[in-house]
Amino acid sequence: MLGKEKIKRIKSLEYKKFRDELGLFIAEGEKLAGEILKSNIQIESLFCLPDAILPNHNVKAEIISENEMKRISLLKTPSKAFIIAQIPHKKINFSQINNSLNIVLDDIQDPGNLGTIIRLCDWFGIGNIICSPKTADCFSPKSVQSTMGAICRVNVFYADLNDFLNTVAKNITVYGTFLDGENIYTAKLLQQGLIIMGNEGKGISHETEKYVTKKLHIPCFSNNAVKAESLNVSVATAIICSEFKRRFL
Amino acid sequence: MLGKEKIKRIKSLEYKKFRDELGLFIAEGEKLAGEILKSNIQIESLFCLPDAILPNHNVKAEIISENEMKRISLLKTPSKAFIIAQIPHKKINFSQINNSLNIVLDDIQDPGNLGTIIRLCDWFGIGNIICSPKTADCFSPKSVQSTMGAICRVNVFYADLNDFLNTVAKNITVYGTFLDGENIYTAKLLQQGLIIMGNEGKGISHETEKYVTKKLHIPCFSNNAVKAESLNVSVATAIICSEFKRRFL
């Protein structure tokens, strides 16, 4: 049985303040719970409906009623599995960063966009994402949900971008998209580097721009009189990652 | 002044039933309102705060208070401009379809995904999207919002896919993504064709699959022991469109 106090504590994890305080995050749904159960992430609690289908695991599940699930769920349609897990703490591995392709997020606001970017990084074998402190929290319920489990496999770090870029930018090419950048489809691209993606409205900040050593541009193919305005940031990230990765198939 | 009845009517446009009945949709925000004002879409009403910034137009604006805007807005943070516009009715131009690249959506459920796909089609100069009847409504407030104005420039049709594909599939290559498809980065791609994108959970339905003449696959670059699961449908659409378009730069 889930008591009032317990439900209140669970619900508090919707907010960053309490996630930080407790070092915990929540994840809902059989698929997402399954991914977390298969990962190295430490689980505090696993709540299930009697008919939930999950992969083999050795976590003690607490069977709850549909009504109880409704009370703790943040989803419109509550699912059959609900996990409370520990936020993992990892350290940036600089030598790994120097020898691979990485994504840097400069104030991405929308947790859905962030989650989608984490998911596509997983697909493209990009293991590290470095986020500015103002970027959305990757452990917010909406972000975790949008990663579809990729949060278990991709390392997401929060760091002052000035400090981070000061440390690594000398050794590696720093890419960023700008209106006056080189056509990404014909530009020379390397297997290692940092790809900076800017804020949904403002793009890459001036502070961060100064570290960019190679400006890129995704050309617009619209032939409308009024040209298409822009691409959603997760869509732009996907196009860029796809283009980098296909070169070294 | 916005009376109770007027507000109720406006609010009803959140629901498809009433959009269909009244033939109207809503769009919020200065940017989105600006795009609609610049387009051929017929506007029924334009509500503005006194300090809204909009492009030149000849629509009579009704200045309302911040409080009134709050009452009609569906956004968490109400904006300064709110439009009620007529849902345009266009007919599929089959000869145009036969001579271009087009997107077919087989039950895309999420209005945000749909809006993002409309926006990226605008970017890639893809003028026609044909949706199965069960695909989300492109004139739902969330979809319109996600298009960022692209809804004014891209033609979105709803049709029985069986009927539609029966009519056009003989003359044109029909592409679809499948696990056993050809690597999209090396497959031969044509400038004309239909690209079918499937439902978020189930992919392309069996009914629709039979029309696919060229199966494609976006390769996964993850080197994790547990492989990345999938890509978000709007991200997958972006990668595919990017790959088609770059070939004919």
Task: Indicate if B119 and B65 belong to the same structural domain.
Answer: no
Specify the pTM: 0.95
A151 DSSP 8-state letter: G
Does residue B106 sit in the same domain as residue B172?
A: yes
Cα separation of A182 and B146, whole Å?
27
> Is residue B76 located within the same domain as residue B41?
yes
pLDDT tens for each residue of A63-116? 999 999 999 999 989 999 999 999 999 999 999 999 999 999 999 999 999 999
Q: Are residues A107 and A76 in the same domain?
A: no
Strand partners, A82: A28, A47
Q: What is the pLDDT of residue B225?
A: 56
Tell me: pLDDT of B30 over 70. yes
Out of A13-22, B88-97, B100-109, B215-224, least confident range: B215-224
Q: Which residue range forms the structural domain that includes residue B24?
A: 4-86
Query: Is residue B10 helix, strand or coil?
Result: helix
Q: How confident is the model at residue A57 (pLDDT cuts 50, 70, 90)?
A: confident
Residue A244 has pLDDT above 80, yes or no: yes
Q: Chain A within 8 Å of B242 (Cβ-Cβ)? A: yes
> What confidence tier does A225 reach under pLDDT thresholds 50, 70, 90?
low
One domain, residues B8 and B61: yes
The interface predicted TM-score (ipTM) is: 0.94
Q: Which band of pLDDT confidence, cut at 50, 70 and 90, is reported for residue B226?
A: low
Clarify whether residues B99 and B201 are in a common domain.
Answer: yes
Q: Are strands B193-198 and B101-106 parallel, antiparallel or unpaired?
A: parallel
The whole-angstrom distance between residue B89's C-alpha and the CA centroid of its chain comes to 15
- Spatial contact of B31 and B149, defined as CB atoms under 8 Å apart: yes
Query: Who's near B20: CB < 8 A, 6+ residues apart?
Result: none
Alpha-carbon torsion (B12, B17, B21, B22), positive or negative = positive
- A160-197 burial: b if 16+ Cβ within 10 Å, else e: ebeebbeebbeebbbbbbeeebeebbeeebeeebbbbb
Domain termination site, one of B51, B86, B121:
B86
Q: Is the domain of B67 the same as that of B99?
A: no
Nearest CA in chain B to A40: B226
| DSSP secondary structure string for all residues of A11-46 | HHTTSHHHHHHHTEEEEESHHHHHHHHHSSPPEEEE
Per the CB < 8 A criterion, the answer to whether B175 and B237 are in contact is no
Of chain A, the percentage scoring pLDDT greater than 90 comes to 92
* B101 in the same domain as B223: yes
What local confidence, expressed as pLDDT, does residue B187 receive? 98
CB contact under 8 A, B235 and A119: yes
Helix (H, G, I), strand (E, B) or coil at B101: strand
Query: What CATH number did the domain enclosing A102 receive?
Result: 3.40.1280.10
- Choose one of A67, A86, A105: the last residue of a domain: A86
A235, A237, A241: best to mutate for the B interface, most B CBs within 10 A: A235
End of a domain among A86, A115, A143?
A: A86
Q: Are residues A191 and A237 in the same domain?
A: yes
**A217 interface with B at CB cutoff 8 Å:** no
pLDDT number for residue B210: 96
pLDDT tens column, A151-188:
999 999 999 999 999 999 888 999 999 989 999 999 99
pLDDT over 90 (residue A24): yes
A65 and A110, same domain (yes or no): no
Instruction: Say how many domains are in chain B.
Output: 2
How far apart (Å, rounded) are the C-alpha atoms in residues A198 and A125?
A: 21
Tell me, yes or no, whether B82 and B140 share the same domain: no
CATH code at position B69: 3.30.1330.30
Residues in chain B closer than 8 A to A124 (CB atoms): 221-222
Partner residue facing A185 (CB), from B226, B234, B249: B249
Q: Are residues B82 and B122 in the same domain?
A: no
Confidence of residue B249 (pLDDT cuts 50, 70, 90): confident
Residue B227 has pLDDT above 80, yes or no: no
